[in-house]
């Protein structure tokens, strides 16, 4: 473990932040030619049925073919999911350009995420023991995979559900005029949030390895985890978004408990096997020698 002064910590932090900013700008430059494809992918729920709607149609069709009497009893009449194509609108002259900048920035952050994790590790590694520094071989690859998995989970499952729920309010007297900036900002903010949420098991595992968090502590504080999940999700105004944010947070907490059961730090057998001190026997004192 290396001891550093306060000024040395600030200098080290400045160096790591500069490297992170440079990596993000390089990632942004690489992502710029693909921003239109990313934007089209984000707008897929406005043109195509969601994955859940496709699964629902496939399941109802299977039940209708396999158990026709039961399907008729339930009144199932499978219909292919229909989605009315929608377009986003913008009001300001340069609004699409600034939206493209935001998309390239977030995409560049995702591309530079391994570098960000590595710089974060270099910043905290001086305070670690030599045997704890080998965790970098797990921290960077699994941290990157977890972030990407969280983004994919959001884009393929959660985001189409949110948009489908929003468009379900359309009627003869109510129609949607979704704004480009608000649509993209909402999507990118939740995408980053889900990437961080999926980092929770890895973070808790590393804290457990560093003897800062124990499995018993996580098991005892499940109610607190539920409360914190609801508090974090409460920053979103609508109930649907609150639900789709709070549930994955707590699910990742349970995954963390399962991960610690499988790969967490085991109790020290030497400490467990150490005999307890014998209690003092009470009785009349003998005569002095």
For residue range 149-182, list pLDDT tens digits in order. Answer: 999 999 998 998 888 888 888 888 888 888 999 9
pLDDT at position 80: 78
- Which contacts of 116-125 are long-range, i.e. CB under 8 A and separated by 24 or more positions? 116/20, 116/23, 116/24, 117/143, 117/144, 119/16, 119/19, 119/20, 119/23, 120/16, 122/16, 123/12, 123/13, 123/16
pLDDT at residue number 84? 79
Residue pair 145/195 in contact (Cβ under 8 Å)? The answer is: no
Q: Cα–Cα distances in Å, from 19 out to 16, 46, 147, 176?
A: 5, 38, 20, 43
The per-residue pLDDT string of the chain (289 residues; one tens digit each, 9 = 90 and over) reads: 556 677 877 888 899 999 999 999 999 999 999 999 999 999 998 988 777 777 777 888 877 778 777 777 777 777 777 777 888 999 888 999 999 999 999 999 999 999 998 888 888 777 666 776 777 777 888 889 999 999 999 999 899 888 888 888 888 888 888 899 999 999 999 999 999 999 999 888 888 877 788 889 999 999 999 999 999 888 776 788 888 889 999 999 999 999 888 876 655 554 444 454 544 444 554 555 4
| Count of positions (residues) in the chain | 289
Global pTM reads: 0.78
Give me Rg for the CA atoms of the chain.
Answer: 27
């Amino acid at each position: 473990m290396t001891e550093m002064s306060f000024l040395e910590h600030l200098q080290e932090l400045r160096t790591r932040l500069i490297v992170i900013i440079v990596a993000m700008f390089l990632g942004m430059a690489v992502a710029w030619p693909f921003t239109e494809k990313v934007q089209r992918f984000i707008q897929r729920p406005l043109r195509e049925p969601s994955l859940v709607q496709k699964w629902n149609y496939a399941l109802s069709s299977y039940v209708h073919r396999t158990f026709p009497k039961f399907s008729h009893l339930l009144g199932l009449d499978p219909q292919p999911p229909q989605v009315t194509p929608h377009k986003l609108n913008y009001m300001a002259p340069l609004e699409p350009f600034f939206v493209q900048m935001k998309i390239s920035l977030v995409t560049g952050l995702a591309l530079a995420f391994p570098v960000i994790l590595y710089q974060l590790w270099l910043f905290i590694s001086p305070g670690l023991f030599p045997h704890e520094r080998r965790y970098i071989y797990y921290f960077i690859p699994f941290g990157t995979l977890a972030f990407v998995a969280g983004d994919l989970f959001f884009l393929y499952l959660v985001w189409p559900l949110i948009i489908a729920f929003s468009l379900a309010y359309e009627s003869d007297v109510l129609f949607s005029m979704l704004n480009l900036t608000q649509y993209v900002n909402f999507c990118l903010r939740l995408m980053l949030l889900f990437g961080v949420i999926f980092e929770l098991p890895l973070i808790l595992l590393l804290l457990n390895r560093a003897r800062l968090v124990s499995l018993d502590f996580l098991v005892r504080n499940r109610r607190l985890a539920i409360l914190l999940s609801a508090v974090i999700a409460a920053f979103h105004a609508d109930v649907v978004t609150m639900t789709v944010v709070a549930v994955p947070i707590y699910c990742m907490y349970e995954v963390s408990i399962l991960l610690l059961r499988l790969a967490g730090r085991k109790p020290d057998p030497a400490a467990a096997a150490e005999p307890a001190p014998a209690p003092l026997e009470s009785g009349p004192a003998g005569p002095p020698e």
